Amino acid sequence: MNNIVAIVGRPNVGKSTFFNRLIQRREAIVDSVSGVTRDRNYGKSEWNGKEFSVIDTGGYIKGSDDIFEAEIRRQVELAIDEADAIIFVVDVEEGITPMDDEVAKLLRKVTKPVLLVVNKVDNAMREKDAVEFYNLGLGEYYSISGMSGSGTGELLDKLVEVLPEMPEVTEEVEPLPRFCVVGRPNAGKSSFINALIGEDRFVVTDIAGTTRDAIDTKYNRFGFEFNLVDTAGIRRKAKVKEDLEFYSVMRSVRAIEHSDVCLLVIDATRGFEGQDQSIFWLAEKNRKGVVILVNKWDLVEKDTMSTRDYERKIREELQPFTDVPILFISALTKQRLLKALETAVEVYENRKQRISTSKFNELMLPIIEATPPPALKGKYVKIKYCMQLPTPTPQFVFFANLPQYVKDPYKRFIENKLREQYNFSGVPIDIYFRQK
């Protein structure tokens, strides 16, 4: 389990530059997926062997510089509730502004680790100016330059030192699959979970989740057994207006990282919106299985929109990862709920399937021979051997004489062929080309 670190501060202090610097070490490895980095507000970072998730709250505020202070205040309150540590970024060029004071006032009451970061300190003169930020009453500050990266090492040393130890997830002999129900507010997650569990909660045990905020329910009905990670009805704060995109994404981060398969519930009457997409790409980036459940299908006028049209529209938004099960359900009328569970179990099985190296070569090498990678600069790429890597999620490596010449379109071609031959529905796949 990863800690969550939130970066807060008013607009234009350089939060995003700093965020990009934190995640880029990993991004190259994590995101070797045909350049899909749609969600620039969430990423994973690692320092001194400790991995943590980073959320840039600034990316979620839409609008111009004169954004309402209330919005920033709400984001800081949310970060205080949901994150394990908070990085508060201020700008040495502008000095302390009234908004910085406001944020500091909120952060002074917090028991969680708060690191004050003075950005844009790129010379000795500015180092002197930074002293002013002691007045925020948050103790020591770290002066950095997000652009050049100076000072970030010390800051990260301190960050990993103050991050709380995450409890080890103790695995059962054959761990039960973990399914999490995610989606934007009011898409019907709670109704879906209640319909599954039954209002009287047909529950074997309620395990308090290893995270503060996701509750594990052991589910054992209709021949299915798994842990349901429920983010729907937890710690609902009256002060949090649920219309905030940031809120559902932040809420989902923990649950998604914590699960094997994500059941993404969307509201049929609203369509597949930006927020649903953010959560989908979050699951994809974490290499989790995904099943999309279009809820409230009983409320949609069927003559205007057939399931086929609706499904096609969603798949267009999912490009290039379109091999995902989409089911039309109604939590209210209990329509297709069991099918949803069956599908989640199938995706879980797909995700852990292993293909023997000899069979894999037998199947893929003739396909590659018939359609080899295009030659580049008169050089021909030859692929002689391939195998599945012994990793928790499906990863395949193809050994070639000139792996650097294999471009994204050919990787996608290989992935499509692989999906045609094997059932990896709902599961992100990684494909690598290496020097043989």
Instruction: Name the least confident of 191-205, 206-220, 375-389.
Output: 206-220
Q: Is 213 annotated as a binding residue?
A: no
Q: Is 359 annotated as a binding residue?
A: no
Q: Is 230 annotated as a binding residue?
A: yes
Q: Is 295 annotated as a binding residue?
A: yes
Q: Is 91 annotated as a binding residue?
A: no
Q: Is 298 annotated as a binding residue?
A: yes
Q: Is 309 annotated as a binding residue?
A: no
- Residue 246: the pLDDT is 64
Q: Is 233 annotated as a binding residue?
A: yes
Q: Is 60 annotated as a binding residue?
A: yes
Q: Is 312 annotated as a binding residue?
A: no
User: Beta 383-388 vs 395-400: how paired, if at all?
Assistant: antiparallel
Mean pLDDT value across residues 227-250:
56
Most confident region among 38-47, 170-179, 388-397 by mean pLDDT: 388-397
Q: Is 185 annotated as a binding residue?
A: yes
* Beta bridge partners of residue 54, listed in sequence order: 5, 43
* pLDDT of 433 strictly over 70: yes
Spatial CB neighbours of 360, under 8 Å, sequence gap ≥ 6: 386, 387, 388, 396
Q: Is 6 annotated as a binding residue?
A: no
Q: Is 41 annotated as a binding residue?
A: no
pLDDT in tens, 77-103: 878 887 899 999 999 999 999 889 989
Distance CA 304, CA 300 (A): 8
Q: Is 289 annotated as a binding residue?
A: no
pLDDT in tens, 299-350: 887 766 688 889 999 999 988 888 999 999 998 888 898 999 999 999 999 9
Q: Is 57 annotated as a binding residue?
A: yes
- Residue 192: the pLDDT is 85
Q: Is 189 annotated as a binding residue?
A: yes
**Which strands, in side-by-side order, build the sheet including 215-221?**
203-207, 215-221, 224-230, 178-182, 261-267, 289-295, 326-328
Using pLDDT thresholds of 50, 70 and 90, give the confidence band for residue 253.
confident
Q: Is 12 annotated as a binding residue?
A: yes
Mean pLDDT of the chain: 81
CA neighbor of 291 nearest in space, from 258, 257, 320, 329: 329
Mean pLDDT value across residues 61-67:
51
Mean pLDDT value across residues 138-145:
91
User: Beta 3-8 vs 50-56: how paired, if at all?
Assistant: parallel
Q: Is 373 annotated as a binding residue?
A: no
- Residue 40: the pLDDT is 53
Q: Is 10 annotated as a binding residue?
A: yes
Q: Is 135 annotated as a binding residue?
A: no
* pLDDT of 216 strictly over 80: no
pLDDT in tens, 261-284: 999 999 998 888 877 888 898 899
- Residue 415: the pLDDT is 93
* pLDDT of 10 strictly over 90: no
- Residue 242: the pLDDT is 44
- Residue 61: the pLDDT is 56
Spatial CB neighbours of 63, under 8 Å, sequence gap ≥ 6: 71
Distance CA 167, CA 169 (A): 6
* pLDDT of 208 strictly over 50: no
pLDDT in tens, 402-413: 888 888 899 999
Distance CA 425, CA 386 (A): 21
* Peptide bond preceding 175 in cis form (omega within 30 of 0): no
Tell me, what amino acid is at 58?
G
Q: Is 65 annotated as a binding residue?
A: no
Q: Count CB neighbours of 109 within 10 A.
A: 7
Q: Is 121 annotated as a binding residue?
A: yes
- Residue 1: the pLDDT is 66
Mean pLDDT value across residues 35-53:
70
Q: Is 190 annotated as a binding residue?
A: yes
Q: Is 20 annotated as a binding residue?
A: no
Mean pLDDT value across residues 128-134:
91
* pLDDT of 68 strictly over 70: no
* Beta bridge partners of residue 8, listed in sequence order: 88
Q: Is 120 annotated as a binding residue?
A: yes
Q: Is 70 annotated as a binding residue?
A: no
pLDDT in tens, 342-381: 999 999 999 999 999 999 999 999 999 999 888 888 889 8
Q: Is 271 annotated as a binding residue?
A: no
Q: Is 13 annotated as a binding residue?
A: yes
CB 374 within 8 A of CB 383: no
More confident residue, 6 or 223: 6
Mean pLDDT value across residues 196-207:
48
Instruction: Name the least confident of 217-221, 368-372, 416-420.
Output: 217-221
Q: Is 409 annotated as a binding residue?
A: no
Using pLDDT thresholds of 50, 70 and 90, give the confidence band for residue 28.
very low
Q: Is 139 annotated as a binding residue?
A: no
More confident residue, 51 or 213: 51
